[in-house]
Amino acid sequence: MYIKPKKDTSLKVQQPTELLAFLMQHYAGSRTSAKSLLAHRQVSVNGTVQTRHDTPLQPGHVVTIISGKGNVELHHPKLKMVYEDEHLIVVDKQQGLLTVATAPGATETTAFSILKAYVKKQNPRNSIYVVHRLDRETSGVLVFAKTPQMQEYMRTYWRELVTRRTYVAIAEGLWEQQEGQIRSWFTEDKRNAVVYSSPVDDGGSLAVTNYKVIRQTKPESQDSKVYSMVELNLETGRTNQIRVHLASKGHPVVGDRKYGHGNESSPIDRLCLHAKVLEFIHPATEQKVHFESPMPRAFTHLFQ
């Protein structure tokens, strides 16, 4: 039977193994108890909280079982913890939640405000810092820094650190070319909060998106709506890049009020854009880390 530890317990790894096997052998006893420790974020490896059962361990690694006392968990219907260490927090954001408030003094709940409250429960001196953003109606993987130094470093070297950014969108219509690259130059009108795209260099910022059509619906009648599921890999990270690029191809993101035909065209009443994969070099460990958010079920239901 699993019993919560009264104090933190550290164990040194002697031979290569995986975290679940190590916990079962040295502490938890059963698979269920070991998974419970991981689910309750009570296991750290070399000071980093781990929740994956297949985390590889090497000789010399230190596995710490964290006591229940003072252990804070993140509970919010629109924000799920994916990864946390002393430098970064990675979350899975649901659609409908802002990354950060859009106006000074705004009281609306955001991913930033949720995480700020979370880290302050751990220690009142803690804070949280925005690294990048997702639009309110875009769901998926989002990263925050725990120190201003880490925020500044990641923002400064974002293009060098990030090795993969993959989104999935549901776009309107059937694509003639199933795979390709969209290149254009963006000019942002900040006054009207809109981005314009030019196929030629007009002095704007170059935006590059690689796309691949994964699935397409079959029209039931001549007037029925047709949708395409498109995987998109970003080479640049311009404001509204995917939304502007797909609209420029005549295939706007379903549910896009700004660049498309609005929610009247969306059978699931949302912007159909999801940040599926974020992979980058961790600034502190210099190791590549990979985070992935499951495809929204509503997306896949459109193609069944």
Reading the block at residue 304, the tokens are: 């069944």
Reading the block at residue 248, the tokens are: 């420029």
Whether 44 and 66 have beta carbons less than 8 Å apart is answered as yes
Whether 290 and 280 have beta carbons less than 8 Å apart is answered as no
202 catalytic, yes or no?
no
- HEC secondary structure over 228-243: EEEEEEECCCCCCHHH
Please name the residues in contact with 271: beta carbons below 8 A apart, sequence gap of 6 or more: 95, 135, 137, 138, 253, 254, 255, 256, 257
CA neighbor of 230 nearest in space, from 254, 208, 206, 207: 254
Give the three-state DSSP class for 288. Answer: strand
229 DSSP β-pair partners: 170, 215
Alpha helices in 97-184 (DSSP H): 111-122, 148-156, 158-161
Q: Buried b vs exposed e over 38-76: b needs ≥16 C-beta within 10 Å?
A: beebbbbbeebbbbebebebeeebebbbbeeeeeeebeb
* Marked catalytic residue, from 135, 189, 201, 223: 135
Whether 171 and 284 have beta carbons less than 8 Å apart is answered as no
C-alpha span between 84 and 90 (Å, rounded): 6
- Residue whose token pair is 């296991």: 43
Q: How many CB atoms lie within 10 A of CB 126?
A: 14
Which residues carry out catalysis?
A: 135
